[in-house]
Amino acid sequence: MAAHPFKICDDNILGRHLVTTRPIESGAVILQEAPLVRGPFLHTVPVCLSCGKILDASCWRPCSKCGWPVCDKNCEQSPTHQSECILTAAKGSQITIKNFGIPNPNYQFVSILRALYLKQTSPEKWKKLLSFQSHSIEVSTLPPSFIRNFFKLEDWSEEEIAQVLGVLLVNGHELPLTQPSQLVVYDEASFLEHNCRANCTKTFTDEGELLVVASRSIEPGDHLSICYTDPFWGVQNRRQHLHQTKHFWCVCSRCEDPAELDTHLNSIKCPKSTCDGLLLPKSFLQEVSVWICDKCDGLFSNDNVSVLLGKIGGELSEMPKGDAQVCREFLQKYEKVLAPNHFYLLDVKMALSHILASQNFEDLSDGDLGLLLKMSEDLKIVAERVAPAERRLLGLILYRTAKSKIEMARRQDNLSEFRAVLANSKATMSEARLLLANEPSSLPEGRLHRQIGLELRLLDDLLKNK
> What pLDDT does 247 receive?
87
Contact predicate 103/45, CB 8 Å: yes
pLDDT at 464: 85
Q: Cβ atoms within 10 A of the Cβ of 254, count?
A: 22
Measured CA to CA, the distance from residue 345 to residue 382 in angstroms comes to 12
**Residue 230 pLDDT:** 96
How far apart are alpha carbons 218 and 200 in whole angstroms?
9
Residues 6 or more apart whose Cβ sits within 8 Å of residue 459: 422, 425, 426, 429
| Angle at CA of residue 203, ends 320 and 380, nearest 5° | 60
pLDDT digits (tens, 9 = 90+) for 422-447: 999 999 999 999 999 999 999 999 99
pLDDT bracket for residue 140 (50, 70, 90): very low
pLDDT interval class at 139 (50, 70, 90): very low
Whether 137 has a pLDDT exceeding 60, the answer reads no
pLDDT score for 289: 96
Q: Identify any residues that bridge with 135 across adjacent strands, giving them in sequence order.
A: none
**CATH 3.10.129.10 describes domain 6-34+189-226:** no
The SS3 assignment for 64 reads coil
The three-state DSSP-derived secondary structure of 417-428 is: HHHHHHHHHHHH
- Which tens digits make up the pLDDT trace of 227-257? 999 999 999 999 999 999 888 999 999 999 9
Asked whether the predicted pLDDT for residue 355 surpasses 70, the reply is: yes
Query: At CA 76, angle to CA 72 and CA 80, rounded to 5?
Result: 125
Domain boundaries, the chain: 6-34+189-226, 37-185, 252-306, 364-466
Is the separation of the CB atoms in 188 and 8 below 8 Å?
A: yes
Average pLDDT rounded to a whole number, residues 152-163: 95
Tens digits of residue pLDDT in 48-61:
999 999 999 898 99
Mean pLDDT of the chain: 94
Residue 343: closest CA among 318, 392, 300, 378: 378
Work out the number of other CB atoms within 10 angstroms of the CB of residue 221. Answer: 9
Q: Write b or e for each residue in 75-108: b if 16 or more Cβ atoms lie within 10 A of its Cβ, otherwise e.
A: bbebebbbbbbebbbeeeeebebeebeeebebbb
Task: Please state, as a whole number, how many other Cβ atoms lie within 10 Å of the Cβ of residue 203.
Answer: 21
Which of 5-9, 142-146, 199-203, 268-272 bottoms out in mean pLDDT, i.e. has the lowest?
Answer: 142-146
Kindly report whether the global pTM for this prediction surpasses the value 0.85. yes
Looking at the DSSP bridge assignments, the partners of residue 307 are none
Residue 157 has pLDDT above 80, yes or no: yes
pLDDT for 76 equals 96
How does residue 133 score in pLDDT terms, banded at 50, 70 and 90?
confident
Q: Where are the alpha helices (DSSP H) in 300-414?
A: 302-317, 324-334, 343-357, 366-386, 391-410
Kindly report whether the peptide bond that precedes residue 5 is cis, defined as omega within 30 degrees of 0: no
Query: Can you give the pLDDT at residue 136?
Result: 56
Average pLDDT over every residue of 388-405: 97
